[in-house]
Chains A and B, each alone.
Chain A
Amino acid sequence: MKRLYLVILLLGMFCLTACRDAEQTINAADVSENDRYGGTLTFGISVPIVGDLLDPHRSASPGNSRIQRSMFDSLVAQNEDGSFDPWLATKWEISEDQKSYTFHLRDDVTFTDGTPFDAEAVKFNFERIKKLDSPGLSLSFLGPYESTEIIDDHTVRIHFQEAFSPFLSNLATENLAMVSPVAVKERGDSFAVNPVGSGPFKVKDYTLGTEYVLERNEDYNWGPANAGHTGKAYLDELVIKIITEDSTRVSSLHSGDVDAIDTIPPQHVKVLKNDNDLNISEVELLNYNAAIQFNATKGILQDKNLREALRLGVDWDAIVRTVYLGTYDRAYTALSPSLIGADADLEEKWEFDADEAEDMLDELGWKKGGDGIRVKDGKRLSLEMIDFYANREKRMDVMTMVQNSWKSIGVELNIHTISRGEYTDRRMAGDYDMWIGSQYGPDPDGVLRAYLVAKEGYHDEYQDPKVTEMLDAARDEQDSAKRAVLYRKLLEHLFEEVYSIPVYVLPYTVAANKQVFDIGFDIKGSPYFYDTWIVSE
C-alpha cells in the first residue's frame, strides 16, 4: 500500500511540472515600441571573463566581448553584407592614397561619467592603445597606425603609414570602441575591471568571476544606424551570469533561473530546438576556423608529402558529424564562410582515401614496424600535439578520433594537455608537431596574420615569405571583390602547402525563453542587447 502512495506521489509531481499552463505565444509585431521598455534579462554565458577585464582595449577573448559590446560604442557599425553604417561617426571619407581616414563625429554624445565625446577623445583612445602594456587585440587592429589629427572639435583624421583596408571592419568592433578619457585617468588600475564607455548599458554592480549587473544608460540616444530602434535601450537591467558547466547552464534555462544562455552543447541542441518554450538562434562566428596547425619548419612534419598523407588519411566529414551531431559545419578553408574571400569553393579538393594515404607513406619510406606504427631510419612516425584548453568545443574528442584514424595508417599521435604557461613556452621554442586553435575577428587580415605570421619571440611554423607577401597585397587592396580574389589565392596556397587542416566552423548559439525578443549580434557574432526586450509576466 505504501508503495502505491509513493507511485501516486511521484506521478503527481511529474504531472504538476508537465502540465504547467501552456504559455500564450506573443506576436512581436503586436507589441508597440512603448510597451517594450522595462524588465531584466538574465543571460548565462559559457566562458569566464579572462582576467576580469571589461576594458575593451585590453581583452582578446570572445567571452569578454559578450559583455563589452553593449557597454561601448564604436565609430562605425558593420552590416552583415560587409557595408558600414554611421554610429559615433556620422560620415567619413577615405583619402585617395587610402592612408588617411577622416571621421565626422556626433556632437551630442557623452560617456556615462559625463565626459563629452569629441575629437580629443578619439585621439586619446587610439594613443592609449599604442601605449598600453597589454593591449589585447586592439593594437593589432590598429595596423600601421601613425597618428590622429584633430581637424576641429568634431572631426578627426587618422593617418596610417601605408594603406590599411581592414580598418573600418576593425573599427566596428569593441576592441577599437571609445572609452572615457577622464575615467581612464581617474580610475587608474581599476579601469581595467570597471571601465566607462558611452554605450546603452553601464556597470551597476559585479561579483568578479560569477556575475555582472548592467543598468540602462538613461541618456543614451546615439545607437548605431543599423539598430532596430532609437533612443535608450529597452531593458532596465541586463544580468550576465558566468556558468561554465554545460549541463548546469542548460538546466538553469529550463528551471527559469536565467532567461537565455549561450553556447548550447551539441548534444542539447536538438532537445532545445524541440522545446516549445524556447527559441534558439545561431550565428556564425567570424573566425579563423578551428584548425590543426602543423609545425612545418621543425621535426618530421617539415615534409609536405607527409602532411598531405595525414590529411588524406582521415574521414574529416564523419568525425565532425559524429562529434558535433550535425550541429557544426565542416570547414574547408582557414576562413569561416562569411569572411571575405572564404566563399572560394575549395570543397572539391578534399578527399578521404586511407589506402592512398598508406601508399604515400610507403613511398616516403615510412614502413610499418612490429607495433603497427611506421618507422624510417630507426625513427618512429610519432607526433606530439600540445593543448591547454582541455576539451574546449569538444576539440579533444575530435583529436581522439583523428588519433585513431592515424593509428590505422601507422601514425602515432601523442596528445599532451599541459598548463597554459608550459604551452606558451613550447610554442615559443617550437617544441611540438601540432596544435589546434581558432581565432575570431571581423576581417581576414587580422585572423590570418595571427596564425600565419610568427610573432616576435615565437617559433615560426612556416617561414613562408609568399604568405606574408600575399597578406600584404590583400591588405593594401581597397576593392573588396579584388581583395576576395587575393584571399582565395592565399587559401589555395595554404591548401597546397598543407600548413593546417581546418576542421569545423564554430557557430555561436543562443537559447532563450519565449518572453525574450531580439537579442542581436554584431558582425563578429557577439550578442548585442540594445534592441533586446522582454515580456514581463
Chain B
Amino acid sequence: MLYILSRLGMAIGVIWGSITLVFFIVNVLPGDVATLLAGDDVPTETETIHQLREELGLDRPLLVQYMDYIAGLFQGDLGTSYANSEPVLDRLLDNLGPTLALTLSSMFVAVILGLILGILSAVYQNKLLDGIIRVLSLIGVSTPNFWIGILLIWIFSVQLHLLPSIGNGSFEQLILPSIGLGITGAGVITRLIRNSILEASNEPFIRSLRGKGIGQRAILLKHILRHALIPAVTMLGMIFGEMLAGSVVTETVFSRQGLGRLIVDAIDQKDIPIIQGSILFTAVFYVCINMLVDISYRFIDPRIRLNEK
C-alpha cells in the first residue's frame, strides 16, 4: 500500500513538473500571441492588439498567469482556446478517445507480434527463421513509421481495396494505423524477448529444471518466459511513450483525429491553452501506464514483493 502511495506521489510530482516546464517554455518562446491572433497578413493596429492582450489576460505578469492556470486546473478549468474561444477541455476530450484507441491498439500489435516473433526467434536460434525475424525486426525498428503507413495505405487501400485509408471512428479505420505504428514497437520487443530468453536459458535454475527432466516446452512457457518478461514489461512503459510521440505522425498520415494532430496545429498557432492541456493529458497517460508497469512487476516477479518485506 505504502509502495503504491509513494508511486502516486511521484506521479503527481512528474505531472506538475511537466506542466510547469511547458508553461514557462511556451511562454518564453518568441512570438506575441495577440499579434499572431490578429493575423499576420493583415494590417494590425496596436489598439486592437492591446485590447486582445487584455482580454486574454496576457498583460499580467507571467507568475500571476501561472498561479491562475494552476488554480484553474484544480477546478477542472483548462481555459479556452486563444484561436477560437472553444473550451480546451472539450477539445481534449474529443481527441482523447481516438488517440487512446490508436496507442493502445498499437501497443497490442507491438506486444503480440513482438512476443510471437521473439519466442520463435529464440527457439530457432541461428536457424534461417531466426535470421529472417532478426532482419525483419531491424527493419521494423529503423523504418520511419510514416513510411510504413504510406506503404500500408498503398497495399491495402489502393491496390487491394480492403481497408479505408483515412479517418477514425470504425474498427477498420484503426487497423492500418495501429499496424503502422505498432511495427516499430514490435521490432524492439522481438529483439528484447529473444535476447532475454537466450540469457535465461543459461541460468542455473533453468539448467537444474532441465536436469529434473522437465519438458523443453514446459520450461520455456512456464519458467523462461516469465523470467524474460521483466525487461519486456519495463520496455512497455517506454514504448507507450514512443507510441504517443509516434501518434503525432501517424495521425497526420492517416488523417485521424487525435491529440497529436491537435498539438501540432496548436503549436503552429501558439494556442498556449491547447498546448498545455494536451501536454497535461499526455503526461497523465504516460505516468499512469508507467505506474501500472511498476505495479505489475510485483505480480510477475515475486522477488520484488519479497524484498519489500
Contacts and interface: CB of A to CB of B under 8 A. Distances in A.
Interface in A229-255: 241-245, 247-248, 251-252, 254-255
Interface in A85-140: 133-137, 139-140
B256 interface: yes
Nearest to A389: B268
Interface string B95-106: 100000000000
A247 B165 CA distance: 11
Interface in A186-214: 189-190, 192-193, 207-211
B86 interface: yes
A14 interface: yes
Contacts of A241: 166-167, 255
B199 interface: no
Interface stretch (A331-339, A450-458, A487-495): A450-458
A456 B167 contact: no
Given A245-B253, A248-B255, A257-B166, A60 B85 contact: no
Contacts of B85: 189-190, 192
Contacts of A247: 150, 153
Interface string A205-231: 001111100000000000000000000
A53 B83 contact: yes
| Contact count band on B | 35 or more
A434 to B, nearest CB: 17
B166 A450 contact: no
Contacts of A282: none
A470 interface: no
| Contact count band on A | 35 or more
Given A245-B255, A424-B40, A425-B32, A251 B262 contact: no
Given A50-B269, A133-B38, A209-B257, A419 B153 contact: no
B44 A248 contact: no
B257 A134 contact: no
A189 B149 CA distance: 38
A421 interface: yes
Contacts of B149: 248
A245 B36 contact: no
A424 B32 contact: yes
B94 A457 contact: no
Contacts of B42: 60, 135-137, 139-140, 450, 455
A51 interface: yes
A211 B267 contact: no
Contacts of A303: none
A422 interface: yes
Interface in B274-299: none
A409 B49 CA distance: 44
Contacts of B49: 457
Interface stretch (B6-14, B154-162, B238-246, B301-309): B154-162
A259 to B, nearest CB: 13
A140 to B, nearest CB: 5
Contact of B31 (A140, A208, A420): A420
Interface in A393-450: 419-425, 427-428, 439, 449-450
A44 B167 CA distance: 11
A82 interface: no
Contact of A14 (B35, B159, B261): B159
B46 interface: yes
Nearest to A423: B31
B255 A244 contact: yes
Given A209-B261, A425-B30, A134 B158 contact: no
B98 to A, nearest CB: 9
A190 B37 CA distance: 16
Nearest to A53: B84
A256 interface: yes
Nearest to B267: A419
Interface string A28-41: 00000000000000
Contacts of B51: 133
A140 B166 CA distance: 38
A22 B138 CA distance: 42
Contacts of B159: 13-14, 17
Nearest to A425: B30
B164 A257 contact: yes
Interface in A172-193: 189-190, 192-193
A420 B36 contact: yes
A257 B164 CA distance: 6
Interface of B: 29-33, 35-46, 48-49, 51-52, 55, 80, 83-86, 91, 94-95, 146, 149-150, 153-154, 157-161, 164-168, 252-257, 261-262, 265, 267-270
Given A210-B255, A419-B267, 18 more contacts: A13-B160, A50-B269, A60-B41, A133-B37, A134-B38, A136-B42, A139-B42, A189-B86, A209-B265, A210-B167, A244-B252, A248-B153, A251-B158, A252-B166, A422-B31, A423-B31, A456-B46, A457-B44
10 contacts: A60-B39, A60-B41, A135-B42, A209-B257, A251-B158, A255-B161, A255-B164, A257-B166, A425-B32, A449-B43
